[in-house]
Each structure stands twice: as structure tokens, then as C-alpha cells.
């Protein structure tokens, strides 16, 4: 199975444990791109809606394209009653959007799964003049809050993190957008915090694509080791999150 399709095997777990983005980020993005009822928006690979609600609830003409059949079905169940919600179950790389154009295209840790030259060139072609490309991602830091726990977890990784297939996507660079015609490129950052119990942390780690493909017996040993590490430090692990928002414009 392709790595980008692995998330489709765990829709319920994905929905429960994947991080949401902070309200300040969405407020900033909505104001920047002037998103509202008169604007058309495309979300790339929404998963189960981790970055959907704030945009959809502006009343914009919301569209999404989701590769995973199970993720697509969950999006339909969650948002299908909204009159401004539209989603297709297809591959962005090959999908024909016809003559449709968008005021904003955005991705929440999804666009890097698309080859860079396709991702930037196709989003550029699909945007209206002056349209916005927004790309967001989360980096979680649990080392700062507890160095000893971090070291215990790293020991578990060293012993049992042995995925069957190596994670392949290391070449995508968000900062290359200007190479494909985009202008006014900038980076904005926002901050938040998450706290997990041991079981919640294991559930969250089980949504990482390269963690899902660890074969037995290392898979069980790995997740048991993570659980034991967090239990040994009071059944609590704290993440300090940095939410990065990259913005770029298609010239007028």
C-alpha cells in the first residue's frame, strides 16, 4: 500500500487523535485571504476534518478532494448536511477540475504527499488571479517539558522502531513555492499545547504512517514501550506545539 493511503486504514483513530490547529491560525488565515460566503475554497486531503470546520463555517463555497475512501466517507457523515460542503473521492494528482477556479487552496500537512512540481504547478493553475495558497503543519515538542521522559521514549525508538518500509517523503520544500510563480511568500507561526495520558499518546503515535507499518513482534513491543515510558512519569506527556502557516499568492 502507498504511504499516502495508509491513513485510510484507521479513520476512527485518525479522527480522534490527530491534532487540530489553533483558533488564532484560522482567524489570521481567514482575514488574510478574506474568506467568506462569496469565496470558493479547496482543501487538499482533509482527512477527517482536522482543519475543515473554521473554513467551512465562514459560509464559503467549500470543496475538498480526499484520496482515502474511508476518510471521504467520514467527511461525508460529518459535514454532508452543510449546503456549502462539496467533496470528491479522488487523487488530486490526476483529478480533472474542469474550468473551476478557487480563491484559496489550503493544505493541513497534506500537500507534501504530492510531488512538488505537481503540487505547486497544479494549485497555481487552479487559483484565481490574486488567490491564496495556504499550507499548514504542526511540530510537537515533548522534550522541553520532560527531558527524562524524552530519553526513555528515544530508547524505545532505538530498540523497536523498525518499520517494514522506510518513510519516503523527504524532498518536498514548502519554501519552493516562489519557484513556481507564487509571490508574497511568508511564514507565520502560532503556538499551543496538548496533554496525553499513556493510552492517548499510544493512540496518537498509532496515527503516524511509518508507525502503522511496524511489523510484529516489534509493533507490540514498541507501543508497549511507549505506554510504559509515559506511565513511569505520572501517566502524562505534554506537547508544546508550533503551528506553521505558509502563505503565498498567485499574481493578479
Q: What is the pLDDT of residues 184-199, one digit of tens each?
A: 999 999 999 999 999 9
- What are the φ and ψ backbone dihedral angles of 222, each rounded to 5 degrees? -65, -55
Q: Give the pLDDT of residue 4.
A: 75
In a domain, 30, yes or no: yes
Looking at the domain assignment, is residue 150 inside a domain?
Answer: no
Note whether residue 144 is domain-resident. Answer: no
Q: What is the pLDDT of residues 112-137, one digit of tens each?
A: 999 999 999 999 999 999 999 999 99
pLDDT band at 6 (very low <50, low <70, confident <90, very high): confident
- Sign of the alpha-carbon dihedral angle for 45, 46, 50, 55: positive
- Give the model's pLDDT for residue 245: 98
The pLDDT value recorded for residue 5 is 80
Residue 20 lies in a domain: yes
DSSP 125: H
The whole-number average pLDDT for the span 53-78 is 98
Does residue 159 sit within a domain? no
Cell triple for 245 = 502557516
> Is residue 156 in some structural domain?
no
Confidence of residue 227 (pLDDT cuts 50, 70, 90): very high
Q: What's the number of domains the chain is made of? A: 1
**pTM of the model as a whole:** 0.94
Domain limits for position 46: 3-139+167-193+240-249
Round to whole Å and give the CA distance between 141 and 106.
24
Of 171 and 87, more confident: 87
What CATH code is carried by the domain that includes residue 104?
A: 3.40.50.150
Chain centroid to CA 196: how far?
19
Domain-located, residue 96: yes
Q: How many residues does the chain have?
A: 252
Does the residue 215 lie in any domain? no
Find the mean pLDDT for residues 15-41.
Answer: 96
Amino acid at each position: 500500500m502507498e504511504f499516502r493511503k495508509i491513513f485510510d486504514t484507521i479513520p476512527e483513530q485518525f479522527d480522534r487523535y490527530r491534532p487540530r490547529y489553533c483558533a488564532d491560525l484560522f482567524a489570521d488565515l481567514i482575514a488574510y485571504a478574506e474568506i467568506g460566503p462569496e469565496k470558493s475554497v479547496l482543501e487538499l486531503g482533509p482527512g477527517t476534518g482536522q482543519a475543515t470546520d473554521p473554513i467551512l463555517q465562514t459560509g464559503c463555497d467549500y470543496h475538498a478532494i480526499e484520496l482515502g475512501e474511508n476518510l471521504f466517507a467520514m467527511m461525508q457523515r460529518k459535514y454532508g448536511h452543510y449546503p456549502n460542503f462539496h467533496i470528491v473521492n479522488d487523487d488530486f494528482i490526476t483529478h480533472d477540475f474542469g474550468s473551476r477556479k478557487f480563491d484559496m487552496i489550503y493544505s493541513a500537512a497534506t500537500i507534501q504527499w504530492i510531488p512538488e512540481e505537481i503540487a505547486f504547478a497544479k494549485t497555481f493553475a487552479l487559483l484565481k488571479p490574486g488567490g491564496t495558497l495556504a499550507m499548514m503543519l504542526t511540530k510537537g515538542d515533548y522534550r522541553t517539558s520532560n527531558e527524562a521522559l524524552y530519553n526513555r521514549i528515544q530508547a524505545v525508538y532505538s530498540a523497536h522502531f523498525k518499520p517494514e518500509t522506510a518513510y519516503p517523503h523527504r524532498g518536498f520544500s514548502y519554501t519552493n513555492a516562489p519557484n513556481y510563480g507564487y509571490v508574497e511568500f511568508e511564514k507565520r507561526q502560532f503556538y499551543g499545547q496538548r496533554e496525553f495520558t499513556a493510552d492517548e499518546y499510544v493512540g496518537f503515535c498509532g496515527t503516524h504512517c511509518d508507525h502503522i507499518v511496524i511489523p510484529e513482534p516489534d509493533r507490540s513491543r514498541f507501543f508497549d514501550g511507549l505506554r510504559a515510558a509515559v506511565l513511569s512519569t505520572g501517566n502524562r506527556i505534554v506537547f508544546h506545539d508550533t503551528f506553521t502557516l505558509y502563505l503565498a499568492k498567485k499574481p493578479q
